[in-house]
Structure 1
Amino acid sequence: MISDEQLTAVVETVLRLLEEGVTLGELSMERIAREAGVGKATVYRRWPGKEALMLDVMRSLEHAGPELAGKSVRDDLVTLLETLRRRGLAKRSSAVLRTALAQIKAHPELWQEYHEKVVKGRREAVHAVLRRGVAAGEIRPDLDVELMGDLIVSPMLSRAMFHERAELPEDLPGKIVDAVLEGVRPR
């Protein structure tokens, strides 16, 4: 069994290496164990391979979704985007996800599992708010909820993930949501 201290040491080591620009291809279980100050057998007892370890590393960066007030579609969407904005400001989260995205073709099972465990829940939260907006008459019913979700979330993800030095000002979530809602309101 791996202790909590050893688990933390291994995860922190991987995060540090990724922040330093080490790619998944350059990471080895041996290097991780050595730099974390634990035995290789200790690492393999917890993770059968690098992909399983990376999934736990990515999960370590996740936080519970925000509480939504449920009063305003706009306010709930801004709250969801603010969570992404703050995550994009965190160098550690961005480094891990940029590395994962860069390696997606070499490790599609890692991306698939991350998508199932993390991305899917976030998308559903946005879709639920949008469906509520359609039901309340705040959003046109003839629009595809998934497409609307992509229109709202994609600008924040693009800035946070693909433009390493892009600014993520505090008012960005509101600007994005307002721009999209203006186009999806009933006429």
Structure 2
Amino acid sequence: MSLADSPAAAGVPARGRPRSEAVERAVIEGVMKLLEDGVPLAELSIERIARTAGVGKATIYRRWSGKEELFVEVVRAAEPPDPELPGTSMRDDLVAMLEQLRQRGVMSRSSVLLHNVFAQMKSSPKVWAAYHASVVGPRRRIQIEVLRRGQENGELRADVDVELVNDLIVGPMLLRSVMRPHADLESDLSEGLSERIVDTLLEGLRPVSSPSA
């Protein structure tokens, strides 16, 4: 077959990518199965994961640098997706991000897998550091950027520390999710919780209009 007659030249998509996605899904599901079966994080070797997923170790190493990166992707696959920000205002973007955090808290409580993985991750410094670097850090940077944009648009006082403000906004939801395991996050009473947190804090952080002369 000549080059001109090849599938790529004819505009036919290559088969490699769909097969790759199927392999990645099989590996992630394999890790989830082992964790659901009660295998501790520390005992999950790449060899055992490969055997469970029905792939070779080299296949896993071509996609992930090691267990830490793979585990982070497994957690991300089990969590709710990052929100698509409305972009209409700082307030609306903050509500969207806080709502994702609330949903994540609900899932962490209802999912034995997520609950166990988070508990085990904290005892594994390398995995915890990888999770912070690839998940927590990027999310926080987006939150800070939303607040800085709010300052530029006059939605937030220019004299406040955006790093501190971000902690003040995220803190109450994390408190209810982690430190108060029986706090309401999913009933009708919790609807609008993200809006109430954001609006309560912004009430004292919006620029104060100068009194008219």
Q: If the length of structure 1 is used for normalisation, what is the TM-score?
A: 0.74
Equivalent residues, number: 185
Is residue 78 of structure 2 the alignment partner of residue 66 of structure 1? no
- Alignment correspondent of 2:162: 145
1:148 Cα offset (Å): 0.4
Q: Where in structure 2 are the equivalents of 1:43-58 lying within 5 Å?
A: 43-44=60-61, 46-47=63-64, 49-58=66-75
Q: What's the % identity of the aligned pairs?
A: 49
- Alignment correspondent of 2:7: none
User: In structure 2, what is the Cα distance between the partners aligned to 1:94 and 1:161?
Assistant: 15
User: In structure 2, what is the Cα distance between the partners aligned to 1:49 and 1:116?
Assistant: 15
Tell me which of 140, 161, 164 is aligned to 1:123: 140
Tell me which of 166, 172, 185 is aligned to 2:193: 172
Q: Is the 8 A contact 2:68 2:130 kept in 1?
A: no
| Residue 129 to residue 5, structure 1, CA distance change in 2 (3 Å) | closer
Letter in 1 for 2:67: K
- Alignment correspondent of 1:107: 125
Q: Is the 8 A contact 2:90 2:149 kept in 1?
A: yes
| Residue 129 to residue 53, structure 1, CA distance change in 2 (3 Å) | closer
Q: Is the 8 A contact 1:10 1:33 kept in 2?
A: yes
SS in 1 for 2:166: helix
CA deviation digits over 1:70-100, x for unaligned, max 9? 3x32222111111222233334888447634
CA deviation digits over 1:131-182, x for unaligned, max 9? 2332333322221100101111122234335555543233111121122212
- Alignment correspondent of 2:171: 154
SS in 2 for 1:90: helix
- Alignment correspondent of 2:26: 9
Which stretch shifts more, 87-96 or 29-38? 87-96
Q: Is the 8 A contact 1:15 1:96 kept in 2?
A: no
Q: Could you say what the CA RMSD is over the residues aligned between the two structures, in angstroms?
A: 3.3
User: In structure 2, what is the Cα distance between the partners aligned to 1:107 and 1:25?
Assistant: 11
User: In structure 1, what is the Cα distance between the partners aligned to 2:199 and 2:139?
Assistant: 20
- Alignment correspondent of 2:11: none
Higher Rg of the two aligned structures: 2
Q: Structure 2 stretches of 5 or more lacking a match?
A: 1-15, 209-213
1:112 Cα offset (Å): 3.2
Q: Is the 8 A contact 1:81 1:173 kept in 2?
A: yes
User: In structure 1, what is the Cα distance between the partners aligned to 2:90 and 2:141?
Assistant: 14
Q: Is the 8 A contact 1:88 1:94 kept in 2?
A: no
Higher RCO by CA contacts (8 Å cutoff, separation 6 or greater)? 1
- Alignment correspondent of 1:83: 100
1:15 Cα offset (Å): 2.6
